[in-house]
Amino acid sequence: MSRYNTPFEIHVHGEVPLRADVNFAQLQEALKPLWTYAGAKSLAAAAASAYEEEPGIKFDADKHLLQMCWTVPGDDDFRQSLDELCMGLNELAEMGAPIEVTFYDADFDEEDGDADDGEEARDDFAIYFVGPTPAAIMQVQRDLLVQDMIGLMERHFDASELGDVVGAVDQLFERRFNDLANSMQLGRPPRGQGGSPGGSGHGGGRKPRHLH
């Protein structure tokens, strides 16, 4: 890693199912925004995370799966690399998949009393989505939203009572997809829709790292 004194430690986490015909060279090109940002000359040189306990970036050729649990020091300019990453992975993905990205404030230290002084970490969290088509991306967005909603509402209602809620979510996504398709004025949508995070937010506390 060639970056020092950067304001963030950026953690990228996710699993992306790849098409069966995808090879390492194609994946290396799609992931170029990550390994060049890390200052490396190849994917292999940058695959290890900044933290030894994290698996880093792995390509499981047998399962046709890209696995990422990887941290790199960086700045807000990393978001541009994420946009480029999503565009590249859209071309290789077999189905829609989320990629979680967390920006940890490298200067914030709870043990040194920053929290006691009333200072808040500049941590940020976003989910980026990749997939072969807009429909595939919307499907995984829908699935995550339904999962979160059911998890929240089951505290108050039985799961069997939530069918109407799930149906309403499906109608919203169907309307969004129809609007997208109509706005393109084409016979079919392009292969992918990526580059923009599907959701983001600032947590109330520091989020734990994801480890396999």
State whether 79 and 162 are in the same domain: no
Statement: residue 198 has pLDDT above 90: no
Q: Please report the beta strands in 49-181, taking only residues with DSSP state E, as ranges in sequence order.
A: 56-60, 65-74, 97-105, 124-130
State whether 169 and 126 are in the same domain: no
State whether 36 and 122 are in the same domain: yes
Between 147 and 99, the more confident residue is 99
Helix (H, G, I), strand (E, B) or coil at 160: helix
State whether 42 and 72 are in the same domain: yes
Residue 125, pLDDT score: 94
Residue 210 lies in a domain: no
Statement: residue 169 has pLDDT above 90: no
Residue 2 lies in a domain: no
Between 201 and 35, the more confident residue is 35
State whether 25 and 63 are in the same domain: yes
* Average confidence (pLDDT) over 55-59: 98
pTM reported for the whole predicted model: 0.77
The parent domain of residue 51 ranges over: 8-132+192-201
Which of these ranges, 25-39, 45-59, 144-158, has the smallest mean pLDDT? 144-158
State whether 149 and 99 are in the same domain: no
Between 195 and 171, the more confident residue is 171
Number of Cβ atoms within 10 Å of the Cβ of 70: 23
Residue 170 lies in a domain: yes
Q: pLDDT tens for residues 103-146?
A: 999 876 655 545 445 566 788 999 999 999 988 999 999 999 98
Count of domains in the chain? Answer: 2
User: Percent of the chain, pLDDT > 90?
Assistant: 54
Per-state percent for the chain, helix, strand, coil, to nearest 5: 35, 25, 40
Residue 212 lies in a domain: no
Give the model's confidence band at 170: pLDDT under 50 very low, under 70 low, under 90 confident, else very high.
Answer: confident
Residue 209 lies in a domain: no
Residue 127 lies in a domain: yes
CA distances to 48, 98, 186, 188, 196 from 181, in Å = 40, 22, 7, 7, 18
- Say what angle helices 134-153 and 163-184 make with each other, to 10 degrees: 160
State whether 94 and 160 are in the same domain: no
Residue 102 corresponds to which tokens in the numbers above?
Answer: 């967390």
Between 172 and 78, the more confident residue is 78
State whether 93 and 175 are in the same domain: no
Residue 63 lies in a domain: yes
* Average confidence (pLDDT) over 170-181: 83
State whether 85 and 65 are in the same domain: yes
Residue 44 lies in a domain: yes
Cα 19 to its chain centre, rounded Å, is 19
HSE of 208, CA atoms in CB hemisphere, 13 A: 3
State whether 15 and 120 are in the same domain: yes
State whether 167 and 92 are in the same domain: no
Contact of 1 with 78, CB cutoff 8 Å = no
CA distances to 97, 171, 191 from 144, in Å = 10, 15, 21
State whether 158 and 99 are in the same domain: no
